[in-house]
Amino acid sequence: MSVTQQYLLDTYRARSLGEPAPPAPGTHDRRVLRDRRDERRLRAVLAGRPARPWLRDALSRWRRST
């Protein structure tokens, strides 16, 4: 069963039971990713590491060395 089919089934069940419809798939993806990033940064700070994006730093070091 695909995500869309499951969503439609859940929406049908919610409507027949008089409950609010569930959020559409992908509705909160950006929010989840942002929260995950913030959590990683917080853990880095608590562990005493810099909370900067490591990939950006690595790419800038690589660019400077070439």
Q: Is the pTM of this model over 0.75?
A: no
CA distances from 1 to 5, 8, 9, 25 (A): 6, 11, 10, 14
Q: Is the pLDDT of residue 57 over 90?
A: no
Alpha carbons 54 and 60: distance in angstroms, whole number: 10
Average pLDDT taken over every residue of the chain: 89
Give me the residue spans of the domains in the chain. Answer: 3-65
- In one-letter notation, the amino acid at residue 40 is R
pLDDT digits (tens, 9 = 90+) for 7-24: 999 999 999 999 999 999
Q: What angle do CA 47, 36, 10 make, to 5 degrees?
A: 150
Q: Is the pLDDT of residue 62 over 80?
A: yes
Per-residue pLDDT, 39: 93
**Main-chain dihedrals φ then ψ at residue 36, nearest 5 degrees:** -65, -45
